[in-house]
Structures are given as C-alpha cells and as structure tokens.
C-alpha cells in the first residue's frame, strides 16, 4: 500500500488531503469531524480581528456541474472567541492550520501572533478572497504588498506560514515568488475565481454582494495551471486547491507540483466522508501507477519533455518540430 504521509513545511501529515478554508471550518466540532473522517489536517475558516456576520444571503449560488458561486463576506467569530473552536478541533488530534485575514502587514502580524497562541501547527494567510473589499485579492494581487505582509507575519511568529494566493492575476508565479521572498514556507493556490451570476428574469445579480468567487469542477484546470506555473518559479512547497473531488484530481495536482491539496466544494453531497474515500482511492491509485510514496511524485509532470521544454522555452512561439501536411 502506497505511503500517503507527507511533510508540509515541517508539519508531518498522515495524508495530503486537507480541509479547505471556509468549508466546515467555523466550528471546532466540524473540523474534528473532518479529521475523524480521514482528512490529513484542517484549515480553519479565515479569522479576522473582529467578529463579522458576512454578507446577507444569497451568499451562494449552485451552478450545476460547473460548480459553486459564493460571496460569504468572510463571516467569522473573530479572534477573541475563536480559540475555543481550535481547542475542540485540536482535541481530536487534527493538525490545525489557522487561516487569517487582515488589511495591512501590521494587522496581519498582530492577528498572526494571537492565532499562533492557539496551538495551530501553521498559519495560512488569506491573500486571495475575491469578494471582500479591502481584504483578500484586493491586497493580494500586488506582489509588493504580498511580500510585505508575509515578511511581517514571518517575523512575528514561530510557525510555518502558508501564503494563499489568488488566480485572478496575470502572474500567479510572480505572486508566489513575492511570498517566497517574504519568507513564506509554502504557497496555497488557489482561492476562488472572480465570477458573477445574473438572474435574467429579475435583471439583477443573484448573490447579495453581486460579485463572488467560483469554486468546484470549473476551476480545477485553473488551479492546476497556477500550481504548474508556481512550481516552476519557487522552491517552497505548494498546496493545490480548486475543484478536487477525487483521487485522480488530487493526483493531477500532485503531478503539477502540489505537495498537499485542500478540498472544499466537493464535500457538498458526500460530506467529510469524502476524505476517507479519496484517501483509500489515492493509495490504490498510487499502487496502480507504481508510485510508492505520494511525496516522491511531486511535480513529476514537469520532468518530461516536451512539456517542460515548452515551459522553459524563451518567450517566443515554438513552432511544431516536425512539418505537417494535409491528408
């Protein structure tokens, strides 16, 4: 049976399947349940300095097989009350990664210190929520701000720091490099893709907030492209996120360069039992592919020409190497 254990920025995990931030992560009991069901670890809901109710409903819009649109508006109990939830999650044995959001480096650092005090194994910085004014991708798409924020957090705490970056950028690799320069220990990619749904009969956006973020099957190819590009740009490990619903989806991320993955939207329906299912499937898929340890295959799809050659080619068009003809 293939070995699923993985070390992520110094944190040992029994498997690479993590609960994504904002899914089942507001309460300790839910995080504990995710771990009991087979997750390798959990990421908390993104926590801020103050409690926030989030946007009014509708906060989500299901888009059939394409995925899910959401604009929750970062609801969270605030850092004063949240440690009690982490306590419950930790009691289950789960490695808990504390996600935080703030507007500026100093606030990030202060919040990080408090989050670090709760016993989490690592921090994830939400630099990527696409629909909260003044937070998330509004600050996280500027490489200099990303670098400054990461640097201030890394200086403030003694824990591994994961920078969660946005796909809504021309250059995900540039953002990842900025985070690496700031001292980040890993990159989480991706958050949701900026998106909108309009009701035609009412002539208005469906989500109360208007713009939202897309998650689920639609964004798997987008997340894979980001992880692929980031893998070619940084040396720190990558946590792949976006549209993962099966062992094969997780493997795609592994081969693109992810050392661990997070699962969110796909839990709708199967619930956290999906973690157990994917972990089992993953082990037998790795066996079938002749891979003994998950870790050994990180980024393997980069290893073979012509794909890697294409990636490393100078920035001009590569003509197909062989002449073509019509039949």
Ligand X SMILES: Cc1cc2nc3c(=O)[nH]c(=O)nc-3n(C[C@H](O)[C@H](O)[C@H](O)COP(=O)(O)O)c2cc1C
Residues that bind ligand FAD (CB under 6 A): 324-327
**Binding track, positions 180-219, relative to a copy of itself; x by CB under 8 A:** -------------xxxxxx-xx-xxx--xxxx--x--xxx
Site for another protein in 121-180 (CB under 8 A): none
At its nearest, how many Å lie between another protein and the CB of residue 179? Answer: 27
Indicate if 226 belongs to the active site.
no
Site for another protein in 197-256 (CB under 8 A): 199, 201-202, 204, 206, 208, 216-217, 245
DSSP state of 199: E
**Binding track, positions 14-53, relative to another protein; x by CB under 8 A:** --------xxxxxx-xx-xx-----------x-----xxx
- Buried/exposed 84-96: b ≥16 CB within 10 Å, e otherwise: ebbebbbebebbb
Site for ligand X in 207-226 (CB under 6 A): 215-216, 219
Radius of gyration of the chain from its Cα atoms, rounded to whole angstroms:
19
Q: Could you give the dihedral angle defined by the CA atoms of residues 101, 102, 107 and 113, in that order, rounded to the nearest 10 degrees?
A: -10
Cα separation, 299 vs 295, whole angstroms = 9
Q: Which is nearer to another protein, 85 or 180 (CB)?
A: 85
Q: Give the number of C-alpha atoms closer than 13 A to the C-alpha of residue 187, restricted to the C-beta side.
A: 36
Cα separation, 159 vs 157, whole angstroms = 6
At its nearest, how many Å lie between ligand X and the CB of residue 24? Answer: 10
Q: Which residues contact 124 (CB under 8 A, 6 or more apart)?
A: 21, 43, 97, 98, 99, 100, 161, 162, 163, 164, 188
> Does 241 interact with ligand X (rule: CB under 6 A)?
yes
**Binding track, positions 237-276, relative to a copy of itself; x by CB under 8 A:** -----------x--xx--xx--------------------
> Does 12 interact with a copy of itself (rule: CB under 8 A)?
no
**Residue 75 neighbours by CB distance under 10 Å:** 16
The binder of 235, among a copy of itself, ligand X, ligand FAD, none, by C-beta within 5 to 8 A per type, is none
Distance of CA 234 to CAs 100, 148, 229, Å? 23, 17, 9
Q: Which is nearer to ligand FAD, 319 or 325 (CB)?
A: 325
By CB neighbour count within 10 A (0-12 exposed, 13-18 middle, 19+ buried), where does 124 fall? buried
Cα separation, 291 vs 27, whole angstroms = 36
Cα separation, 314 vs 141, whole angstroms = 25
Phi, psi of 246 (to 5 degrees): -150, 170
Site for a copy of itself in 53-82 (CB under 8 A): 53-56, 63-67, 69, 73-74
**Binding track, positions 165-204, relative to ligand X; x by CB under 6 A:** --------------------------xx------------
3-state DSSP assignment of residue 210: coil
At its nearest, how many Å lie between a copy of itself and the CB of residue 64? Answer: 8
Number of residues that bind another protein (CB under 8 A): 59
At its nearest, how many Å lie between another protein and the CB of residue 168? Answer: 21
At its nearest, how many Å lie between a copy of itself and the CB of residue 244? Answer: 13
Q: Which stretch binds a copy of itself (CB under 8 A): 19-27, 104-112, 177-185, 294-302?
A: 294-302
Give the end-to-end CA distance of the chain in Å, rounded to a whole number.
Answer: 48
> Does 315 interact with another protein (rule: CB under 8 A)?
no
Catalytic residue among 32, 120, 121, 129: 129
**Catalytic positions:** 129
């Amino acid at each position: 049976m293939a070995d699923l254990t993985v070390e992520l920025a110094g944190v040992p995990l029994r498997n690479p399947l993590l609960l994504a931030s904002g899914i089942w992560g507001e309460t300790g009991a839910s995080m504990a349940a995710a771990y009991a069901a087979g997750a390798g670890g959990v990421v908390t809901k993104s926590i801020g300095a103050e409690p926030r109710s989030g946007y009014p409903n509708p906060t989500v819009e299901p888009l059939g097989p394409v995925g899910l649109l959401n604009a929750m508006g970062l609801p969270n109990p605030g850092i004063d009350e949240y440690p009690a939830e982490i306590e419950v999650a930790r009691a289950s044995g789960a490695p808990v990664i504390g996600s935080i959001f703030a507007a500026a480096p100093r606030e990030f650092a202060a919040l990080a210190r408090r989050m670090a005090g709760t016993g989490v194994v690592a921090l994830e910085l939400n630099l990527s929520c696409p629909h909260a004014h003044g937070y998330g991708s509004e600050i996280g798409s500027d490489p200099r701000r990303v670098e400054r924020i990461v640097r201030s957090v890394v200086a403030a705490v003694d824990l591994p720091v994961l920078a969660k970056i946005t796909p809504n950028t021309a250059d995900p690799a540039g953002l990842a490099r900025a985070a690496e320069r700031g001292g980040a220990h890993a990159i989480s990619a991706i958050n949701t893709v900026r998106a909108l749904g309009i009701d035609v009969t009412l002539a208005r956006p469906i989500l109360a907030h208007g713009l939202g973020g897309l998650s689920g099957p639609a964004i798997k190819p987008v997340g894979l492209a980001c992880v692929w590009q980031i893998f070619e740009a940084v040396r720190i490990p990558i946590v792949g996120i976006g549209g993962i619903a099966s062992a094969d989806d997780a493997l795609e991320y592994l081969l693109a360069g992810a050392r661990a993955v997070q699962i969110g939207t796909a839990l709708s329906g199967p619930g956290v039992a999906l973690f157990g299912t994917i972990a089992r499937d993953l082990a037998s898929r790795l066996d079938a592919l002749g891979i003994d340890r998950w870790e050994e295959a990180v980024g393997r799809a980069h290893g073979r020409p012509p794909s890697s050659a294409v990636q490393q080619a100078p920035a001009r068009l590569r003509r197909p190497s062989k002449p073509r003809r019509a039949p």
